[in-house]
Amino acid sequence: MTEKQNENGLLRESEWSLYMIKTRLNTLYTGISTDVDRRFKEHSGVSKRAARYLKGKGPLELVWQQPVGSKSEALVLEYQVKKLNRRQKQNLIDGEMALKSLLD
């Protein structure tokens, strides 16, 4: 579990975010992280922590990110987004589809 200290010095769970990256081949990759900027840099560079799917598909572009709460919520939403077709994912990116609609 990733934790941070709040203003009282107590540990709390970090907020997780869902993100989508567009590749040079115009495909969309979906992932979750507590630090999207750091994770995007890992994917974009030669880091061993980069997703295998993204290797050799750069340049990459971070096209969408949304805070979603806990890790369990992020994992559920990531699974739901990965089941969407390309048009539905684009609607999510364009703000034409609400992320919460995937939980109904």
Q: What is the pLDDT of residues 38-83, one digit of tens each?
A: 999 999 988 889 999 999 999 999 999 999 999 999 999 999 999 9
Contact by Cβ (8 Å): 30, 84 = no
Contact by Cβ (8 Å): 81, 89 = yes
Find the range with the poorest average confidence among 6-15, 19-28, 48-57: 6-15
Cβ-based neighbours of 68, under 8 Å, separated by 6 or more: 15, 16, 17, 18, 32, 74, 77, 99
> Tell me, what CATH number does 20's domain have?
3.40.1440
Residue type, 70: S
Report CA-CA distances (Å) from 94 to 4, 27, 91: 32, 16, 5
Structural domain including 15 reads 3-103
pLDDT at 96 over 50: yes
What pLDDT band is residue 1 in, cutting at 50, 70 and 90? Answer: very low
Residue 8 region, left (φ>0) first, then alpha (ψ -120 to 50), else beta?
alpha
Q: What's the total number of domains in the chain?
A: 1
The tokens 């290797």 sit on which residue? 55
